């Protein structure tokens, strides 16, 4: 059995009781970065062994993990924050498990784009989740596609590229498009700002160095 266990995107209290129990009951916890996950597990008294599972080793270790799961092991997969497989490692292992007949269960929990959408004040009854844009090749193609969507869309972006992204969104979506930048969700310095794109760009230019995880929500055409 493979459990996908969401971990807090900010406040440690956001983890569910069931998630903590699954981490305790698993034979092994597969973690994107053991250095990040170990303090969380220690905070909740989880003593289950950790093994690294990330984008740089998953292709090589997935077959062995599937064999172990087929032999009766129960593993929990976590990432640094949020739900495994959502812009984080996990898909390859889940697909391999499904193909091998290993049962997979995903616990409900944190994903940064959901609170960003809900708190933005931008219509979110229908939306497109894009995740991270390509850094270079294909970036403009994706931006043009997103700009023409009739529904709200959500992006992940790193803090040092947020001003550049807002400028690109102005170029492709127009300066009258409303958007929201949600930064440090569920953390002490949470900031959720909704405004026309030029105002958002000016706001973050004035801030200078920006820190934290960022979700950008943009209204549809």
For residue 2, give both structure tokens.
């493979």
Backbone angles phi, psi at 157, to 5 degrees: -150, 150
Query: Looking at residue 110, what is its pLDDT?
Result: 87
Per-residue confidence in pLDDT tens, the chain, 221 aa: 999 999 999 999 999 999 999 999 999 999 999 999 999 999 999 999 999 999 999 999 999 999 999 999 999 999 999 999 999 999 999 999 999 999 999 999 889 999 999 999 999 999 999 999 998 899 999 999 999 999 999 999 999 999 999 999 999 999 999 999 999 999 999 999 999 999 999 999 998 889 999 999 999 99
Domains for the chain: give ranges and CATH numbers: 2-106 (3.40.1010.10), 113-218 (3.30.950.10)
Give me the residues paired with residue 92 across strands.
none
Q: Which residues pair with 82 in a beta bridge?
A: 7
**Quick one: which of 3, 7, 8, 45 has its CA closest to 27?**
3
Both tokens assigned to 166: 């807002």
Residue 74 is predicted with a pLDDT of: 98
Helix (H, G, I), strand (E, B) or coil at 210: coil
Judge contact between 200 and 179, C-beta under 8 A: yes
Instruction: Give the closest residue to 143 by CA, choosing from 161, 122, 117, 125.
Output: 161
d(CA 90, CA 88): 6
DSSP state string for 147-201: HT-SSEEEEEE-GGGHHHHHHHHHHHH-TT-EEEEEESTTSTT-EEEEEEHHHHH
Tell me the whole-structure pTM to 2 decimals.
Answer: 0.90
Q: Are 105 and 26 in contact (CB under 8 A)?
A: no
How large is the angle between the packed helices 162-173 and 197-207, nearest 10 degrees?
Answer: 160
In this prediction, residue 208 carries a pLDDT of 85
Q: For residues 22 and 29, what is the distance between their CA atoms, to the nearest angstrom?
A: 10
């Amino acid at each position: 059995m493979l459990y996908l266990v969401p971990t807090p995107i900010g406040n440690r209290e956001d983890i569910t009781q069931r998630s903590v129990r699954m981490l305790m009951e698993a034979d092994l916890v597969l973690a994107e970065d053991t250095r990040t996950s170990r303090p969380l597990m220690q905070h909740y008294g989880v003593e289950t062994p950790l093994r690294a599972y990330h984008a740089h080793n998953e292709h090589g270790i997935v077959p062995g993990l599937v064999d172990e799961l087929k032999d009766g092991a129960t593993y929990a997969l976590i990432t640094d924050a949020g739900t495994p497989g959502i812009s984080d490692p996990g898909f390859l292992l889940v697909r391999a498990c499904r193909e091998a007949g290993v049962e997979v269960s995903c616990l409900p929990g944190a994903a940064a784009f959901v609170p960003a959408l809900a708190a933005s004040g931008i219509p979110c009854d229908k939306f497109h989740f894009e995740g991270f844009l390509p850094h270079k090749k294909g970036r403009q193609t994706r931006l043009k596609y997103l700009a023409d969507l009739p529904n709200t869309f959500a992006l992940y972006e790193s803090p040092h590229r947020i001003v550049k992204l807002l400028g690109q969104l102005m170029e492709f979506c127009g300066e009258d498009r409303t958007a929201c930048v949600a930064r440090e969700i569920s953390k002490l310095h949470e900031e959720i700002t909704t405004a026309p794109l030029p105002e958002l760009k000016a706001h973050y230019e004035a801030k200078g160095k920006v820190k934290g995880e960022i979700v950008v929500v943009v209204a549809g055409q």
